[in-house]
């Protein structure tokens, strides 16, 4: 099945799932959320009324004192409120008070006086110093429920002494109009969002498929060795990728190993392109803006990964094809370390890392290619920064011994797993970095080839103190 057809079918699947999840939002989130908000309000109300009832409860006049009279007047009030176009004309609260044994001594509706409520969860838990609440049917055969929230009544003269429990009850059906209004609002806005997402998804899919299709046809032609023009120029990442592919082809034209490298490239493109396709499919779904931005950034990061892979592949091809150095000159490694540290400064700041340089006080000279050595040191530093935890330190050490100069890069990362120790210098082999991303897998092979051209060696090993050590050894001048 072609990619375009998969995206087309996947789009309708995503729209259907989006519609389903819109309904699930109401079922799983809206109703519990509204009830949780009501419970929070009842907690506040119960505690306020418990404090107001404390004096009458202590004096034994809770049923006919000022507190009872005030509640009676409250029940007669007409709030005259308009809440979300719904009129509210009566007070829905019911208040009951039990003594320290759980026996009802006051009921604002006068129905449960003298009843033992000590086994009800709201009273039972509150008498034991815990938060007490319950939801019970209005009547034995009723499907409607009432939420009860209790608060302790403490002795005004002895705040640590519990003298009773006040429970505030409110019918759950009183909030049903608001839940239904929220449902209608979510469905209406969800329909608009799905429609907009459908339009954006169709346009994005068509745009991506057009550019990727051209790149795919071009890459296939290059792999087959056909003389074809590059894709039409575009002022975006896909256009950058097309130009990078054309640069790669022009640089490798006529080389005996071009077929191997093109095959390797097309193989490595599958992962980033799959990530771009996955992000494009997810962008068709109604998403929060933060998630949408994250997936858009993922597309850009994968494009950058493709471009980086191509550039490093060309650099590696250039050093691999030479059996000797094309340019030799005295190179001061201490100066190169300073240049590399300055170049990687922004990355260190962005990753919140410190760089410590040791042994660069005196010059150490080797015979070689300044550009290649600078790139090799930069690759070692790039790996160390990528695997180091935020707030850590990367050490860049220059030392000499046994006629060789050694550049060592020490990090405080997770180190190299045992299973990967023998493969880290293979082309395209890379380990996941702490953020989950992978490099092109070409940096260390490049370092190894530079070391070979200079008559030295490269290594990567774990440190006893934790982290990894990567190094480059070169014959001294």
Do β-strands 354-358 and 393-401 pair in parallel, antiparallel, or remain unpaired? parallel
List residues bridging with 148 in a β-sheet.
134, 169
The pLDDT assigned to 254 comes to 46
In the predicted model, what is the mean pLDDT of residues 142-150?
89
pLDDT of 131 above 60: yes
CA 22 to chain CA centroid, nearest Å? 22
Chain-wide mean pLDDT for the chain?
80
Looking at 291, 319, 347, the residue that finishes a domain is 319
The pLDDT assigned to 257 comes to 46
Q: Tell whether 211 and 119 lie within a shared domain.
A: no
Q: Tell whether 305 and 377 lie within a shared domain.
A: no
The pLDDT assigned to 256 comes to 44
Q: Tell whether 227 and 314 lie within a shared domain.
A: yes
**Total structural domains in the chain?**
3
pLDDT of 322 above 80: no
Q: Tell whether 92 and 165 lie within a shared domain.
A: yes
Q: Which residue has the higher pLDDT, 101 or 236?
A: 101
- Digit-coded pLDDT (tens) for 202-223: 777 777 777 777 778 777 877 7
Closest to 387 measured CA to CA, from 351, 423, 421: 351
SS3 154: strand
In the predicted model, what is the mean pLDDT of residues 276-304?
75
Q: How far apart are CA 86 and CA 76, in angstroms?
A: 20
SS3 85: coil
Q: Tell whether 303 and 208 lie within a shared domain.
A: yes
- Going by pLDDT thresholds of 50, 70 and 90, the confidence category of residue 421 is confident
Closest to 381 measured CA to CA, from 417, 342, 425, 436: 342
In the predicted model, what is the mean pLDDT of residues 384-397?
89
Q: Tell whether 360 and 295 lie within a shared domain.
A: no
Residue 100 domain-assigned (yes or no): yes
Percentage of residues of the chain with pLDDT beyond 70:
81
SS3 46: helix
SS3 280: helix
- Digit-coded pLDDT (tens) for 89-113: 788 889 999 999 999 999 998 888 9
Q: Tell whether 342 and 470 lie within a shared domain.
A: yes
Q: Which residue has the higher pLDDT, 22 or 227?
A: 22
Which residues fall within 8 angstroms of residue 324, CB to CB, at 6 or more apart? 453
Look up residue 230 and give its DSSP letter: P
Give me the CATH number covering residue 371: 3.30.565.10
Give me the CATH number covering residue 54: 3.30.450.20
CB of 415 closer than 8 Å to CB of 468:
yes
Q: How far apart are CA 440 and CA 94, in angstroms?
A: 68
- Going by pLDDT thresholds of 50, 70 and 90, the confidence category of residue 163 is very high
Q: How many CB atoms lie within 10 A of CB 137?
A: 11
Q: Which residue has the higher pLDDT, 56 or 264?
A: 56
Tell me if the pTM is above 0.75: no
Q: How far apart are CA 197 and CA 210, in angstroms?
A: 20
pLDDT of 17 above 80: no
Residue 374 domain-assigned (yes or no): yes
Task: Determine phi and psi for 99, rounding to 5 degrees.
Answer: -80, -170
Q: Which of 1-5, 215-219, 249-253, 393-397 comes out lowest in average pLDDT?
A: 1-5
CB of 383 closer than 8 Å to CB of 444:
yes
Q: How far apart are CA 475 and CA 410, in angstroms?
A: 21
CA 464 to chain CA centroid, nearest Å? 33
Q: Tell whether 259 and 225 lie within a shared domain.
A: yes
Q: How many CB atoms lie within 10 A of CB 472?
A: 25
List residues bridging with 171 in a β-sheet.
146
Q: Tell whether 211 and 98 lie within a shared domain.
A: no
Q: How far apart are CA 315 and CA 449, in angstroms?
A: 10
Q: How many CB atoms lie within 10 A of CB 147?
A: 20
The pLDDT assigned to 130 comes to 95
Tokens of residue 91, six digits: 């007070």
CB of 405 closer than 8 Å to CB of 398:
yes
Range of the domain at 64: 37-179
The pLDDT assigned to 445 comes to 83
Q: Tell whether 342 and 422 lie within a shared domain.
A: yes
The pLDDT assigned to 26 comes to 63
Q: Tell whether 366 and 270 lie within a shared domain.
A: no
pLDDT of 308 above 50: yes
Residue 185 domain-assigned (yes or no): no
The helix or strand, by DSSP H or E, that contains position 171, with its residue range, turns out to be: strand 162-171
Edge to edge, the sheet with strand 94-99 lists 104-107, 94-99, 162-171, 145-154, 133-137
Looking at 286, 319, 352, the residue that finishes a domain is 319
Looking at 264, 284, 319, the residue that finishes a domain is 319
Q: What's the farthest any 2 CA atoms get from each other in the chain?
A: 106
The pLDDT assigned to 361 comes to 83
Q: Tell whether 334 and 462 lie within a shared domain.
A: yes
CB of 390 closer than 8 Å to CB of 476:
no
- Going by pLDDT thresholds of 50, 70 and 90, the confidence category of residue 67 is very high
List residues bridging with 151 in a β-sheet.
166
Residue 269 domain-assigned (yes or no): yes
Out of 18-27, 198-207, 288-297, 332-341, the most confident range is 332-341
Q: How far apart are CA 415 and CA 467, in angstroms?
A: 4
Which residues fall within 8 angstroms of residue 77, CB to CB, at 6 or more apart? 91
Q: Which residue's structure tokens are 């256009």?
A: 239
Residue 392 domain-assigned (yes or no): yes
């Amino acid at each position: 099945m072609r990619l375009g057809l998969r995206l087309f079918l996947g789009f309708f699947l995503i729209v259907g799932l989006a519609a389903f999840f819109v309904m699930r939002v109401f079922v799983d989130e809206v109703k519990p959320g509204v009830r949780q908000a009501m419970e929070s309000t009842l907690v506040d109300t119960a505690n306020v009324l418990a404090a107001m009832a404390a004096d009458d409860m202590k004096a034994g006049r809770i049923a006919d004192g000022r507190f009872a009279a005030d509640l009676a007047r409250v029940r007669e009030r007409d709030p005259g409120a308009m809440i979300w176009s719904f009129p509210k004309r009566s007070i829905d609260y019911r208040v009951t008070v039990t003594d320290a044994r759980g026996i009802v001594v006051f009921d604002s509706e006068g129905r449960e006086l003298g009843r033992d409520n000590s086994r009800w969860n709201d009273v039972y838990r509150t008498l034991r110093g815990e938060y007490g609440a319950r939801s019970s049917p209005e009547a034995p055969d009723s499907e409607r429920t009432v939420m009860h929230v209790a608060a302790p009544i403490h002795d005004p003269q002895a705040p640590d002494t519990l003298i009773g429990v006040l429970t505030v009850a409110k019918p759950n059906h009183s909030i049903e109009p608001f839940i239904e209004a929220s449902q209608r609002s979510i469905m209406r806005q969800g329909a608009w969002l799905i429609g907009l997402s459908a339009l954006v998804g169709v346009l994005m899919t068509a745009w991506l498929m057009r550019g990727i299709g051209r790149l795919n046809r071009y890459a296939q032609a290059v792999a087959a060795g056909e003389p074809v023009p590059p894709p039409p120029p575009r002022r975006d990442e896909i256009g950058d990728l097309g130009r990078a592919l054309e640069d790669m082809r022009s640089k490798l034209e006529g080389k005996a190993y071009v077929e191997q490298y093109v095959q390797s490239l097309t193989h490595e493109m599958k992962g980033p392109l799959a990530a771009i396709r996955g992000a494009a499919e997810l962008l068709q779904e109604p998403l929060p803006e933060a998630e949408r931005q994250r997936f858009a950034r993922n597309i850009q990061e994968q494009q950058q990964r493709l471009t980086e892979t191509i550039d490093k592949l060309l650099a590696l091809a250039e050093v691999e094809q030479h059996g000797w150095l094309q340019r030799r000159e005295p190179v001061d490694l201490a100066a190169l370390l300073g240049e590399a540290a300055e170049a990687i400064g922004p990355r260190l700041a962005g990753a919140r890392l410190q760089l410590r340089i040791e042994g660069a006080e005196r010059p150490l000279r080797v015979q070689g290619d300044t550009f290649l050595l600078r790139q090799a040191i930069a690759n070692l530093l790039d790996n160390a920064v990528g695997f180091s935890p935020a707030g850590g330190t990367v050490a860049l050490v220059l030392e000499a011994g046994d006629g060789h100069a050694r550049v060592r890069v020490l990090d405080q990362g997770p180190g190299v797993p045992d299973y990967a120790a023998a493969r880290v210098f293979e082309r395209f082999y890379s380990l996941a970095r702490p953020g989950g991303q992978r490099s092109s897998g070409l940096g260390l092979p490049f370092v190894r080839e530079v070391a070979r051209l200079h008559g030295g060696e490269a290594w990567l090993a774990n440190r006893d103190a934790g982290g990894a050590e990567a190094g480059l050894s070169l014959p001294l001048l």
